[in-house]
Structure 1
C-alpha cells in the first residue's frame, strides 16, 4: 500500500509528499552522513538522503504516449547516473495516483496542467520519510503547458527540466546558495564551472545550454555519489 502524499514545502520543485504523522520521522544525525556539498544538496528535509547501491530504480509512465514523449530526453543522463553507480532503467506503463507513492523503486512520470499552480513549473518529488533515508522512488509531474503552446520554454531548458525533475525524485534538491552574502538565497544563485555551467539542479534554468543540454554537470554527479555514500555509511549494500 502506498503512503499518503501531501504538501510540505516549495523547496523541492515546489511540492512534495507528507502527512502530519510522518513529520516526526527521524532525520539523519550521524556525522558520517553528508547532506550537501559544493554545487549539490540532498532532500534530507523530507527524510531522503540515500539511494540503494544494489537495487534497480525504474522510470515508468502513466501512458504510452508519455513514454514516447519523455524517455528520449533521459538517454544521456541515464548513462551518467549509471556511471555514478546507480542502477536505473526505463520501464513501461502503469497507473499513476499523484496522491500516493507508487510501487517500490519506481519513479512514476505523468503530466498535468500547472501541477504546482505556477505557470511554467513542473514537479519532481521523492517518496518521503523513508527508513534510513533510503530513497524508494517518487513522482514526476511535468507541466503540460510545455506542449500545448501556452508556455514558451527553450529547447535547452526543456531538456534540462525533464532531467531535473527525475533527479528530484531520486533525492537531489536545489543547490542554490547565498553567493552574494545578502542573507537571501535567490533564484539562479548557484555555483558554476569555469565555463559558467551551473548544476542542472540549480533553480531555475540550471544545466548546460549547449549541445550538452540534458546532461548532468559534475556537481549533480557528486550529489548522486553522496546518496550512495550515505547508504553505504549505514551498512546498506
Structure 2
C-alpha cells in the first residue's frame, strides 16, 4: 500500500511567502545600512586625506616661501659683500695708482734734475775747453817748454773732467736702474696682493654656493620625509 501524501493546509501555503519577504526586507535593510556606513567611512577617509594634503601643500608653500626669502636675503647679502669688495679693490687700485703716479713724478723730477746737472757740467766742460783753446792761441809764441806744459795741463784736466763725467754718468745710470727695479717690485707685490684677494673672493663664493646647495637638499629631504610619513599614515 503506497504511503500517504502529507496534506497541505491553507495556513501552510500563506506562512512561507511572508517569512521570505521579511527575510529579504531585513537583508536589504542590513545591506543598506552597511552601504551607508561604508560610504560614510569612505567620505571621512577622503576628508581626512584632503585635509592632510592641504596641510602638506601649505607646509610646502611655507617652505618654498622661506627658501625664496632666504635666497633673496643671501643674494642681497652676497651683492652687498661683492659691492663692498669691489669698492675696496677700487680704493686700493686708486691708492696704488696715486702712489705710482707720485713715485713716477718724483722719478721724472730727479731724472730731470740729473739731466740738468749733467748738461751744466757739459757746458762747463765745453767752456773750459774753449778757454784752453784761447790760452793756447795766446801762448803759441811762448817757448817750447811753456807750450808743452800748457798742453800737458790741458790734457790732464780734460782727462780728469772726462773721467769724472763718465763716473757720474755710470753712477746715475745705476741709480736709475735700481729705482726702476724697486718700482717694478712694488708693482708686482701689489698685483700679487690683488690676485690673492680675487682668489679669496672666488673661494668665498664657492663656499656660499655649496652651503646653499646643502640647505636646498636638506629642505627637499624634509619635504619628502613629510610626504612619506603622510602616505604611510594614509595607508594605515
Instruction: Please give the range of the TM-score, normalised by the shorter of the 2 chains.
Output: under 0.3
Q: Compare relative contact order (CA 8 Å, sep 6+) and give the higher one, 1 or 2.
A: 2
Which structure would you say has the larger Rg? 2
* Structure in which a larger fraction of residues adopt strand: 1
TM-score by length of 2: 0.18
* Structure in which a larger fraction of residues adopt helix: 2
